Amino acid sequence: MKILFIGSRLYDDVDYYVKRKGIESILTESNSDAINLDLPDQVFIVPRGMEGPKEIAITQNVDAIVPLIGIDPPLIQVAHMKEEIEEEYGIPVIAANVRAVELTSDKIKTKEFYTDINVSTPHYQILNCPEDLTLDFPVVLKQAEGQGGKDIKVAESIEDVNDYFEVFNQALCEKFIEGSEISIEVLGFNGEYVALPPIYKGETTIEGTHPLNKVKMGPCLVDGLDNNLIQETAYKIAKNLDSDGIFEMDFMYCPGEDQLYAIEVNTRPNGTRYLTTATCGINSLCELINMACCEFSLNDVFNRLEYYYSTEIPIGTYEGPKINEPLKSFDNNDFIVHGPEGYQRITIRAKSKQDLEKLVDKLT
């Protein structure tokens, strides 16, 4: 089995798994100074874009392509490459297709999609000027594209909206939801979908603090909210997206209204994955490789499900006890550390809430 991986930045997360499965690894990367270039069997530095990877895949005669791209902008090029290379060469590309990327990479299109498939999403309007606003404050102002909280502002008054329009000339304006933020990863391949356990990412704040900077927990345990409802809704969204790979979905639950709202979908490796793996033992990046090897099935995922309590805490720079190899896996660890120095996070798991508290005290 010979797999082409596109992008090296996340490759250290799967290196141990690729080696364990005896897969021959080829990797393309556009930045010759990037990390992890010493790990795969063969590396090709190619220009940005998908022409380089496509050519390497064909000339090296690979069995499958697994893009490991954790940012939004290249996803549409990957999707076009997928459709071309699958049709012309029959090489499977484990990634979202063009329709799924188009629907999910634009927050306005995503909201229209939710409405089409009858999934609740916060009330919204497209503002072309502050005077058009009819929703009550507070509201959340967003741009159609962006990740990590980029270009997002919670407005409490018309002055805040005016300030936003100093910078932008249009906004997706959404009702502010007071409540819990939840993410869930769904895996999809060949028409089969599995919704993994939902993760709790903290409460929304009027400052608009992004979940990246909060303490998170798995599984999600929110009073009044049934995890089956989250999983069923996520499954329904994935089925309607009708595509392959990882879907990370953001939801909000408003206890005052007892309403679950869908916020967004990311069709790529994402920040929820460490907590998902800690909580249930399934690692979405490794599952991409299983898909490439035709070894992915619902049954197999269900049979491997584990049950843990877990948490993820921003720690800056880790200075605790030694972590066992493989460093990014829970195989030989109760905790793993990830992220660049200064912005690291620790993900910790245990069989009971009590044990988890003890371990957190010891490690942080």
Q: Which residues pair with 3 in a beta bridge?
A: 25, 64
Stretch that binds Mg ion, among 7-15, 195-203, 243-251, 325-333 (CB under 5 A): 243-251
Give the nearer residue to Mg ion in terms of CB position, either 14 or 182: 182
How many C-beta atoms lie closer than 10 Å to residue 58's C-beta?
A: 14
Say which entry of ligand ADP, Mg ion, none residue 328 contacts (CB below 5 to 8 A, set by partner kind).
none
Interacting stretch for Mg ion, rule CB under 5 A, among 61-69, 89-97, 248-256, 287-295?
248-256
Q: Residue 175's beta-bridge partner residues?
A: 139
CB of 185 to Mg ion, least distance (A): 13
Is 248 a residue that touches Mg ion (CB under 5 A)? no
Q: Are residues 40 and 27 in contact, defined by beta-carbon separation less than 8 angstroms? A: yes
* Beta carbon nearer to Mg ion, 72 or 250: 250
Residue type, 129: C
Cα separation values, 63 from 66, 295, 318, Å: 10, 14, 38
Question: Residue 172 is encoded by which pair of tokens?
Answer: 């997706």
Please identify, using beta-carbon distances, which residue of 208 and 281 lies nearer to ligand ADP: 208
Which among Mg ion, ligand ADP, none contacts residue 13 (Cβ within 5 to 8 A by kind)?
none
| Burial grade of 93 (CB within 10 A; 0-12, 13-18, 19 or more) | buried
- Contact pattern from residue 155 through residue 194 relative to Mg ion, giving x for each residue in contact according to CB under 5 A and a dash for the rest: ----------------------------------------
Residue 54, contacted partner among Mg ion, ligand ADP, none, CB below 5-8 A by kind: none
Q: How far is CA 249 from CA 15, 195, 245, 356, in A?
A: 26, 10, 13, 26
CA quadruple 220, 316, 287, 278: dihedral, nearest 10? -40
362 binds, among Mg ion, ligand ADP, none (CB under 5 to 8 A by kind): none
Q: Which is nearer to ligand ADP, 190 or 205 (CB)?
A: 205
146 binds, among Mg ion, ligand ADP, none (CB under 5 to 8 A by kind): ligand ADP
What are the Cα distances from residue 110, in Å, to 74, 106, 172, 254, 302? 18, 6, 12, 20, 29
Q: Is 250 in the site for Mg ion (CB under 5 A)?
A: yes
User: Which two three-digit tokens encode residue 227?
Assistant: 């995890």
Residue 312 makes contact with Mg ion by CB under 5 A? no
Our CB check for Mg ion shows the closer of 270 and 333 to be: 270
- Considering CB distances under 5 to 8 angstroms, the limit depending on partner class, which of Mg ion, ligand ADP, none binds residue 234? none
**CA–CA separation, 267 and 110 (whole Å):** 12
Q: Which is nearer to ligand ADP, 155 or 356 (CB)?
A: 155
Q: Which helix (H) or strand (E) holds 29?
A: strand 24-29
User: Residues binding Mg ion: what is the number (CB under 5 A)?
Assistant: 1
Binding partner of residue 197 among ligand ADP, Mg ion, none, CB cut-off 5 to 8 Å per kind? none
Give the distance, in angstroms, between the CA of residue 266 and the centroid of all CA atoms in the same chain: 5
Pick 29 or 264: Cβ nearer Mg ion: 264
The crossing angle, in degrees rounded to 10, of helices 51-59 and 75-89 is 30
Residue 140 interacts, among ligand ADP, Mg ion, none and using kind-specific CB cut-offs from 5 to 8 Å, with ligand ADP
Rounded distance between C-alpha atoms, residue 206 and residue 349, angstroms = 30
The conformational region for residue 344 under phi > 0 = left, psi -120 to 50 = alpha, else beta, is beta
Q: Which residues bind ligand ADP (CB under 6 A)?
A: 122, 140, 142, 146-150, 152, 174-177, 181, 204, 208, 210-211, 250, 263-264
Nearer to ligand ADP, 18 or 141 (CB): 141
> Where do contacts with Mg ion occur on this chain (CB under 5 A)?
250
